């Protein structure tokens, strides 16, 4: 069975590399390790649906069911050898091959001419303010310590990347705002 790659599927397979786990534990680790900043977990049902699909594809397998009087029964899942191989293949593909991921912001920019330049500048200014806050949040994440010790850099590479991308976007918006203010960038709003 061919399984379509997704970041959520890769996160589940990657976390199961550390050993068998139940879905709640996976969800908790995704959040605890900050992987929810780069993996769209969505609602808990999304995680459970993905687990079912991964099991049907033979990439993970159900093991024992844990019973604890404080919680409902929890099925523990294990990574299969095929799941480990698929995860490593996906990881190699993601790290080596740039891909157009169709983020919303560039899509919005592609229709900015529908707004008056002043309105576009105001909206981009608001985005710039949000980016300033996000940059501070990401910097705080990089400076986080656990038990008084810094988190190893390898565990924060996605945060470093997000910070670099956010700083680059903020600088780009600064340039666009400067061009809008000076009049070197302008247009007459209307249909494309």
DSSP string covering 155-174 = GGHHHHHHHHHHHHHHHHHH
C-alpha–C-alpha distance, residues 10 and 62, integer Å: 17
The candidate with the shortest Cα–Cα distance to 171, out of 118, 135, 119, is 135
Whole-model pTM?
0.80
C-alpha–C-alpha distance, residues 120 and 177, integer Å: 9
Q: Hey, what are 44's tokens?
A: 């808990």
Residue-level pLDDT, tens digit, the chain, 192 residues: 578 899 999 999 999 998 999 888 898 888 888 888 888 877 667 889 999 999 999 999 998 776 666 666 788 999 999 999 999 999 999 999 998 888 899 999 999 999 999 999 999 999 999 999 999 999 999 998 888 998 889 989 999 999 999 999 999 999 999 999 999 999 998 776
The DSSP call for residue 110 is T
Compute the C-alpha angle 10/15/20, nearest 5°: 125
DSSP H or E run through 142: helix 117-142
Beta strands per DSSP E along 91-187: 145-146, 149-150
C-alpha–C-alpha distance, residues 171 and 132, integer Å: 10
Neighbour count for residue 75 (Cβ, 10 Å): 14
The candidate with the shortest Cα–Cα distance to 35, out of 16, 51, 15, 19, is 15
């Amino acid at each position: 069975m061919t399984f379509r790659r997704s970041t959520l599927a890769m996160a589940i397979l990657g976390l199961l590399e550390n050993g068998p786990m139940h879905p709640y534990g996976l969800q908790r680790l995704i959040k605890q390790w900050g992987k929810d900043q780069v993996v769209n977990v969505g609602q808990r049902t999304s995680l459970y649906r993905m687990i079912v699909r991964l099991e049907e594809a033979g990439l993970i397998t159900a093991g024992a069911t844990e019973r604890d009087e404080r919680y409902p029964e929890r099925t523990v899942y294990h990574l299969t050898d095929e799941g480990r191989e698929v995860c490593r293949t996906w990881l190699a593909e993601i790290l080596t091959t740039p891909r157009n991921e169709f983020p919303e912001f560039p899509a919005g920019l592609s229709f900015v001419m529908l707004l008056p330049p002043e309105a576009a500048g105001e909206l981009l200014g608001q985005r710039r303010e949000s980016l300033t806050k996000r940059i501070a949040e990401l910097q705080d994440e990089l400076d986080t310590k656990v038990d008084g010790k810094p988190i190893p850099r390898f565990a924060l590479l996605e945060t470093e990347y997000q910070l670099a991308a956010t700083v680059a976007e903020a600088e780009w918006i600064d340039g666009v705002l400067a061009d809008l203010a000076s009049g070197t960038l302008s247009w007459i709003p209307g249909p494309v």
